[in-house]
Amino acid sequence: MFDVTRYAVAADAIVEAGRFLYQRGWSPATSSNYSARIDERHIAITVSGRHKGRLGAGDVMVVDLAGRPVQSQCRSSAETRLHTVLYELFPEVGAVLHTHSVKATVLSCLLPPGQPLTLEGYELQKAFVGVDTHEGRVQVPVFDNSQDIDALAEQTRAWFRAHPEQPGYLIRGHGLYTWGRTMDDCLRHVEAFEFLFECELETMRVRP
Ligand SMILES: CSC[C@@H](O)[C@@H](O)C(=O)COP(=O)(O)O
Ligand SMILES: [Zn+2]
């Protein structure tokens, strides 16, 4: 069982994140899914198919780390396993956000297959937890899109087990996943990625 007060705090953070991300244009047309940890065995996550700019408490449900609904008849996000894998791998993670921005989508399609996006030399890399200089490298793997979410989840588990310090990934033609200790950390990561994706796209435009 989970603590109802902790669920309410997690649901509020998710609803508020949805308003912000929709308003920025990063979660259009019912796309995206968001989650926040309740305890070591449960997370709050968006119900599948809901409009992320108009979420209410009934649009957030509880699942366990196997992705099974707890006290809900609703269907959780179709991508629930992509969230739970991260909570399983990283006990310190408190929130996961998946967004569908134009820049993340276009950039993921322009990157050569099999090659991660390497971000280096940007001061804004310091927005990621654990990064304190522009001189390091942030590696963003790009996984091919798939409707087989369990298979995709296992690919992400293997990659991030080997690269635990990296803050997010792209799915080609689909969007971004990133996480953090708190929802605020996670929202900052989304904003930082969006800025850096725009820099990469602009660089490709002026220096093809
Ligand atoms: C509206 S298309 C996007 C979906 O297919 C999916 O990628 C997505 O992000 C939202 O799925 P959901 O099941 O609502 O969590
Ligand atoms: Zn998606």
18 pLDDT exceeds 90? yes
Mean pLDDT taken over the chain: 97
Domain boundaries, the chain: 4-206
CA of 145 to the centre of ligand 2 (A): 10
Q: What is the CATH number of domain 4-206?
A: 3.40.225.10
**147 within ligand 1 shell (Cβ under 6 A):** no
Ligand 1 nearest-atom number relative to CA 49? 14
Distance CA 28, CA 114 (A): 28
User: Hey, what are 125's tokens?
Assistant: 């890399």
**Mean pLDDT value of segment 98-111:** 98
pLDDT of residue 208: 75
Residue pair 129/138 in contact by the 8 Å Cβ criterion: no
User: Hey, what are 137's tokens?
Assistant: 């490298």
pLDDT of residue 42: 98
**75 within ligand 1 shell (Cβ under 6 A):** no
Q: What is the pTM of this model?
A: 0.98
pLDDT of residue 57: 83
**Mean pLDDT value of segment 7-25:** 98
